[in-house]
Chains A and B, each alone.
Chain A
Amino acid sequence: MGNLLSGIHTALRSMIAQQQAMQVTEHNVANAATEGYHRQEAVLTPGAPYAPPSLNRPYYQGQIGTGAVVDRIRRYSMDFLDTRYRAEIAESSRWSTKQEVLAQVEATLGEIGSDGLVGRLDAFWDGWQALSVDPANLAVRADLVERADELGRALNWRAVQLRTLRKDQDLAIQDRVGEINDLATQISRLNVEIASVYSVGDQPNDLLDRRALLLDRLSEVTGAVSYIQDDGEVLVSIGGHALVVGTETFQLEVSPDPANDNLAAIAWEDGQAFEPGSGEIAGLLEARDEDIAEQLAALDDVASEVISSTNSLHNTGYGLNNAHGLDFFSGTDALSISVDPLMNALENIAAASLADAPGDGSIAMQLASERDRLIMASGTATIGAYYTQKTASLGLAVQTASTRAADRELVANALYDQRESVVGVSLDEEATKLVESQRIYEALARMMTTLDDMLDRVINGMGRVGL
């Protein structure tokens, strides 16, 4: 036969278990909107049963339960969804980062407005056209120099702006490298803590949440891939190279690359090349080394072709003062192009093909028709068409990046919702659990009161027959 005191203990043990369950519910409600939080649940299990001892056990009584206890605090998670979600946010952030940078480039160049480079080129050739009609007119010459100056400044300004943008992306890349190293260190520290919690048989639920959040961010930055080992530690790698192995991390290093304008080159500490397949840093690297570089090269192509085609014709002509063999432009590329200072003496401008021929504008006429000559892209495009094509390719790159980013974001959002549907906190559910635990707690209290009454009867009522 059991004893009354053990009944009181059963009630107590179960009340404690319900209290713990309510505490978990409270934790869930409190973190309902916490980023990266996975809902938890107190898993109740019946307490260890015992067989009541008796002297000779004439018949088998069976085991008697001891109430409810909390077995463990369960953390809801969907690891395979994590992997897919991270792959998608890596791609989505790669494209959206690229889109943001290229949109800046596009806005800076502003080719669609009235200040477009193509318009400046046309204005320059219009200046020669006007000079060809009125070659002896100094006002027309002054106007031509002004137009040429503006073309030069337009090219200089673009080259400077693009270089600045490129430098900005370089700084952003270096920031990201620092962030990756930092994240790696934090993850390796969490690995230690998580493994030690597991080793004593506990659930490091909130630590796991923190680590998952760091892994999410790491994927967003570099498209890192992670694998959780049996001991709870996570292995992280980027582009096939390990970043975190247990408690160890491999750091990334940055050094100036002389072959690339001294911009940052990223390598692993062991010297291997860093190859991020996706993530923000991939978008930044692509923008810096491909798209912006392509626009810069296009500007340099335009500038050097304008310089050489103008100078080679101008050299054959004669100025009003019979100046001959002079360059119209000085410089070699978009950054250095400028009207040769000699041209400020307007008589030096060579519009004529002969000496002493102030009415001859044939060199100016030939220069004006340079706009129609197919001299770019191995003789298939005019300078204007070449640059327009480059503008189009930048526009297309922005468009592609924003479409891809949007597509990937849709998938990532769907996966986020799917993950959230498993790990997210539903307030209605928690309210239900709370009520449930509360009612059970109340019932247990009533049980305890009943047992107390029984004890009262035994202690104070027994052996007092007739009193």
Chain B
Amino acid sequence: MRVTNHMIMQQAVRNMRGSLEALAEMQARVSDGKQFHRVSEDPANATAAISLRSSLQTAESYLETAYTTQDWMDATEFSLGQTTDVLTEAILLAEEGIPDTLSAPERASLAIEADALIDSVLDIANSKHNGSYIFSGYSVHTPSFVKVDPNTVTYQGDAGVIEHAIAEGQRVVVNADGDSVFSPVFSALMGLRDALNANDSSLVQASLGTLQSVLDDVTDVRTAHGGRQRQMDNAINRSENARDAILELLSAKENADMAEAIAALAEQETVYQSVLQAGTRIFDTPNLFNFLG
């Protein structure tokens, strides 16, 4: 093939341009450690990375919900625990009030203690978590119970069942129904107080039975709640594992293999230098005119 000087120059320019382009790309890869900077550099992996990032964000949002939910449930669990404590105390009071040897004033003083327990339960039932009454159903701004008079405690909440989504398609009930948990407690405690005030051993005996069955009910609610808490803990565990797996995948897709990237960069630098050297030779190559005359 007939070669002309212009052709050689053009080829030298083309080679330098191509080599410099490759060098720039590799430098970008090394400087921020990312495998690609535009979707078009690697459409399959880049869009996989976008999807993974989205999954990651979703997983983190669900996890945040799950942590908040855990706090709510812990608050409920704490209140239920306190309630069982109060009920156990009330049962002790009732047992103390049964013996026929007890005098009326002695029973009356026990009745005062029982009355105090009603107030404790009222406090517990009106527990707040993060500014919301936890036993009022949806009416989180309304105190769950109000004591109208010594014999009446009214539920002011509703039967709303609060659910939180803790994973895609997975919902968990967060609250316990205040009315069904606490109203029997109040009436049992009032029954005890009234029986003690009436100084009637058999009535006290009967209220002991009621208290025990109420305690059983509260314990049942607590057990069910505990089950849900365990379910939550498991879900959190799974979500955390899933999040870590996504993070790992994302890093595998996005991040450049640094050792490889640096080696490739060094190699390309050598190539570029050689191209430049070859270019200089071409510029220095004499032609016949240099030797004439």
Interface hub of A112, A137, A422, A435 (most chain B Cβ within 10 A):
A112
Establish whether residues B57 and A369, one from each chain, have CB atoms under 8 Å apart when the complex forms.
no
Does B109 have its Cβ within 8 Å of any Cβ on chain A?
no
Does B99 have its Cβ within 8 Å of any Cβ on chain A?
no
Does B9 have its Cβ within 8 Å of any Cβ on chain A?
yes
Given A132-B65, A133-B69, A422-B2, is A395 in contact with B162 using a C-beta cutoff of 8 Å?
no
Selected interface stretch from A167-175, A191-199, A272-280, A357-365: A357-365
Q: Which residues of A contact B164 (CB under 8 A)?
A: 132-133, 361, 365
* In the complex, chain B residues 142-175 whose Cβ is within 8 Å of any chain A Cβ: 158, 160, 162-165, 168-169, 171
B55-69 vs A, Cβ < 8 Å mask (1 yes, 0 no): 001100110110011
Does A92 have its Cβ within 8 Å of any Cβ on chain B?
no
Selected interface stretch from A242-250, A251-259, A424-432, A452-460: A424-432
In the complex, residue of chain B having the shortest beta-carbon distance to the beta carbon of A417: B7
Q: Tell which of A133, A354, A399, A434 touches B40, judged by Cβ atoms closer than 8 Å.
A: A399
Interface hub of B49, B58, B158 (most chain A Cβ within 10 A):
B58
Establish whether residues A395 and B38, one from each chain, have CB atoms under 8 Å apart when the complex forms.
yes
Does B11 have its Cβ within 8 Å of any Cβ on chain A?
yes
Establish whether residues A395 and B47, one from each chain, have CB atoms under 8 Å apart when the complex forms.
yes
Q: Tell which of B36, B58, B138 touches A112, judged by Cβ atoms closer than 8 Å.
A: B36
Does B6 have its Cβ within 8 Å of any Cβ on chain A?
yes
Selected interface stretch from B129-137, B182-190, B217-225, B226-234: B129-137
Q: Which residues of A contact B4 (CB under 8 A)?
A: 32, 420-421, 424-426
Interface hub of B14, B57, B292 (most chain A Cβ within 10 A):
B57
In the complex, residue of chain B having the shortest beta-carbon distance to the beta carbon of A109: B39
Given A107-B38, A425-B5, is A359 in contact with B47 using a C-beta cutoff of 8 Å?
no
Does B238 have its Cβ within 8 Å of any Cβ on chain A?
no
Q: How far is the CA of A434 from the CA of B131 in the complex (A)?
A: 101
Establish whether residues B162 and A428, one from each chain, have CB atoms under 8 Å apart when the complex forms.
no
Q: Which residues of B contact A132 (CB under 8 A)?
A: 65, 164-165
Q: How far is the CA of A395 from the CA of B289 in the complex (A)?
A: 52
Write the nearest CB–CB distance from B67 to chain A, whole angstroms. 10
Q: How far is the CA of A358 from the CA of B292 in the complex (A)?
A: 100
Establish whether residues A421 and B7, one from each chain, have CB atoms under 8 Å apart when the complex forms.
yes
Establish whether residues B139 and A356, one from each chain, have CB atoms under 8 Å apart when the complex forms.
yes
Q: Which residues of B contact A123 (CB under 8 A)?
A: 57
Given A358-B141, A422-B2, is A133 in contact with B65 using a C-beta cutoff of 8 Å?
yes
Write the nearest CB–CB distance from A319 to chain B, whole angstroms. 13
* In the complex, chain B residues 183-207 whose Cβ is within 8 Å of any chain A Cβ: none
Write the nearest CB–CB distance from A153 to chain B, whole angstroms. 19
Establish whether residues B65 and A427, one from each chain, have CB atoms under 8 Å apart when the complex forms.
no
Given A352-B138, A368-B165, is A394 in contact with B3 using a C-beta cutoff of 8 Å?
no
Given A391-B50, A431-B292, is A106 in contact with B61 using a C-beta cutoff of 8 Å?
no
Establish whether residues A402 and B6, one from each chain, have CB atoms under 8 Å apart when the complex forms.
no
Given A126-B57, A133-B164, is A424 in contact with B49 using a C-beta cutoff of 8 Å?
no
Q: How far is the CA of A116 from the CA of B57 in the complex (A)?
A: 13
Interface hub of A122, A391, A425 (most chain B Cβ within 10 A):
A122
* In the complex, chain A residues 332-353 whose Cβ is within 8 Å of any chain B Cβ: 352
Does B46 have its Cβ within 8 Å of any Cβ on chain A?
yes
In the complex, residue of chain B having the shortest beta-carbon distance to the beta carbon of A357: B138
Given A388-B54, A421-B3, A427-B287, is A134 in contact with B49 using a C-beta cutoff of 8 Å?
no
Q: Which residues of B contact A389 (CB under 8 A)?
A: 47
Establish whether residues B57 and A396, one from each chain, have CB atoms under 8 Å apart when the complex forms.
no
Write the nearest CB–CB distance from A305 to chain B, whole angstroms. 16
* In the complex, chain B residues 247-292 whose Cβ is within 8 Å of any chain A Cβ: 287-289, 292
Does A111 have its Cβ within 8 Å of any Cβ on chain B?
yes
Q: Which residues of B contact A441 (CB under 8 A)?
A: none
The number of residues on chain B lying at the interface, defined by a beta carbon within 8 Å of a beta carbon of chain A, is 56
In the complex, residue of chain B having the shortest beta-carbon distance to the beta carbon of A29: B289
The A contact surface, by secondary structure, is helix
Establish whether residues A360 and B47, one from each chain, have CB atoms under 8 Å apart when the complex forms.
no
A391-433 vs B, Cβ < 8 Å mask (1 yes, 0 no): 1101111110010000000000100111011101111100110
Q: Which residues of B contact A397 (CB under 8 A)?
A: 40
B23-66 vs A, Cβ < 8 Å mask (1 yes, 0 no): 00000000000001111110110110111011001100110110
In the complex, residue of chain B having the shortest beta-carbon distance to the beta carbon of A421: B2
Q: Which residues of A contact B158 (CB under 8 A)?
A: 357
Does B235 have its Cβ within 8 Å of any Cβ on chain A?
no
Does A118 have its Cβ within 8 Å of any Cβ on chain B?
yes
Does A297 have its Cβ within 8 Å of any Cβ on chain B?
no
Q: Which residues of B contact A121 (CB under 8 A)?
A: 54
Given A122-B54, A357-B160, A360-B138, is A391 in contact with B289 using a C-beta cutoff of 8 Å?
no
Does A103 have its Cβ within 8 Å of any Cβ on chain B?
yes
Establish whether residues B40 and A388, one from each chain, have CB atoms under 8 Å apart when the complex forms.
no
Going nearest first, the 3 A-B pairs with the smallest beta carbon separation are A395-B39, A357-B138, A424-B4
Q: Taking beta carbons and an 8 Å cutoff, which residues of B are in contact with A?
A: 1-7, 9-11, 14, 36-41, 43-44, 46-47, 49-51, 53-54, 57-58, 61-62, 64-65, 68-69, 130-132, 136-141, 158, 160, 162-165, 168-169, 171, 287-289, 292
Add 16 more A-B contacts to A129-B165, A422-B2 (CB < 8 A): A33-B5, A118-B54, A121-B54, A122-B54, A123-B57, A126-B57, A130-B64, A133-B65, A133-B68, A372-B168, A391-B47, A395-B40, A395-B46, A413-B14, A426-B3, A434-B292
Q: Taking beta carbons and an 8 Å cutoff, which residues of A are in contact with B?
A: 32-33, 102-103, 106-107, 111-112, 116, 118-119, 121-123, 125-126, 129-130, 132-134, 136-137, 352, 354, 356-362, 365, 368-369, 371-372, 384-385, 388-389, 391-392, 394-399, 402, 413, 416-418, 420-422, 424-428, 431-432, 434-435
21 contacts between A and B (CB under 8 A): A32-B4, A103-B38, A129-B61, A130-B64, A132-B164, A133-B164, A134-B68, A136-B140, A354-B138, A356-B138, A357-B137, A359-B136, A392-B39, A395-B38, A396-B43, A398-B39, A399-B43, A413-B14, A425-B4, A427-B287, A431-B287
